[in-house]
Structure 1
Amino acid sequence: MPSFTLPRTARTARITGTHKVATAFLLAVGATTAVAATATPSTAQTASAHGSIAVKPVSANGLPATAKAKADGAKTHIEAAKSVTDRIKVTAVAEQDHTAKQAANRSTERKAVTPKQYANNLDGWIREALDIMDAKGIPGSYEGLHRNIMRESSGNPNAVNDWDINAINGIPSKGLLQVIQPTFDTYHVAGTPHNLTDPVANITAAANYAADRYGSIDNVNSAY
């Protein structure tokens, strides 16, 4: 069979047609792959997408951080209010204590300002003398004072002995308990008038002298 060679133009056209078919096939396959690639995101894309989701912080007790902060804020306000209340209570107690102390001080001051009142008679003089003697540590009883007063002066604060040896010597005994001036000056009790015939001053000085010499005015039963 005689051989022949296709014209160059026809060979070119056939190759070109084949290439067109292959090219179309490749394009179709490429498009499918592209679609698949687009439809199924890569691992990197997935991680990136997940990373963009906002995650709310959670506190240790399981509450969202915002809720915990609010709860902590409320707790702080409650504690602050409690602290203020406690301070108010302490202040109120301190004020009450201060007021009570002031009242007690005023009461004490009133007692100090208002001295005890005594009758201006023998009973009152003896009782006042006994209170002074008690404060000064001078022994003696109502009975001991009264008994000796009645023997020495019959209760007359201005009684004067003008006949005994003291009177002869120019220093007569005077007052409720018939005390001479030198004895009175030596045994005078501070806080009483420095007057020999003052009833209370005379009694306390005589009791002070008797305590020094006899142990107590109660032990005196005659001239002393």
Structure 2
Amino acid sequence: MPKQQNTPGHSRALTKTHKLSIAGVATLGAAALAFSLVPGNTQQASADSVSAAPVAFSAEQLKPATAGLSGQLADAQAAAAKKKAADAAAAKKAAEAAAKKKAEDARKAKEAASRSAKRAAVKPAAKTYANNLDGWIRQSLDIMKKHGIPGTYDGLHRNIIRESAGDPNAINGWDINAINGTPSIGLLQVIKPTFDAYHVAGTAWSQYNPVANITAAANYAADRYGSIDNVNSAY
């Protein structure tokens, strides 16, 4: 084979075979490049399409979730309405109870006032006594009863008649008491020291007062004889 000589400043000429080879390589390279670019671009575009496109759900898919939320909302509203109704009922019941109690208290107060008024209306008037021997004895008996002093109407009346004949101003000026300066005075002829010692509270401080005289004498007779009923003579 003759040696190839390179001429400075000139490229070696390409043979036909070399040209065909270069063309084939170029064609294969272009095909490979096209193959590699097309799938890559397609995948990226698909990814971009998936990312950018909004997610869509059908009405059938959303229906259970919507129904669940609607049910919860309805339940919450029903519970709130029920609580509101219960609170209103409780408030009404409390108000009715308060009104009933107030009315009952007013009724009781009115009845109590009415009873007091009736008691005041039927309160018996103060007892009065006749200003005579019968009245004096009866008044003395009531005072004696109050103070626990024994004695009866008959016992008092009997001794009064014997001692003074029923004269509240009667005075014994002749017995030993009169001689000693303390005459017997009044219905039951009581001397001053005895009257003072056995005077009963609530009666007059006078031997001449018929009620005071009878009561003091009965008190003395009860202390000494057990009762004015047991006295049948001078005492």
- With the length of structure 2 as denominator, give the TM-score of the two structures: 0.67
Paired residue type of 1:84: A
Paired residue type of 1:92: A
Alpha carbons 1:141, 1:218 under 8 Å: kept: yes
Number of equivalences: 214
Return 5+ residue gaps in structure 1 as ranges.
1-40
In structure 1, the partner of 2:48 is none
In structure 2, the partner of 1:210 is 221
Return closer, same or farther for 1:52/1:185 CA change in 2, 3 Å cut-off: same
Shift of 1:69: 2.9
Paired residue type of 1:211: A
174, 177, 181: which one pairs with 1:166?
Answer: 177
Counterparts of residues 68-147 of structure 1 (less than 5 Å)? 68-96=82-110, 98-100=112-114, 102-103=116-117, 106=120, 114-147=125-158
Return closer, same or farther for 1:84/1:55 CA change in 2, 3 Å cut-off: farther
CA distance in 2, matches of 1:57, 1:67: 15
1:139-191 per-residue CA deviation (whole Å, 9 max, x = no partner) reads 10111000100111111111111111111222111100011111111111111
Return closer, same or farther for 1:80/1:57 CA change in 2, 3 Å cut-off: farther
Return 5+ residue gaps in structure 2 as ranges.
1-54
CA distance in 2, matches of 1:207, 1:56: 104
- Please tell me the root mean square deviation across aligned C-alpha atoms, in Å: 4.9
Residue identity (%): 54
Counterparts of residues 33-48 of structure 1 (less than 5 Å)? none
Paired residue type of 1:169: N
Shift of 1:92: 1.7
Alpha carbons 1:179, 1:202 under 8 Å: kept: yes
Larger Rg: 2
Alpha carbons 1:56, 1:64 under 8 Å: kept: no
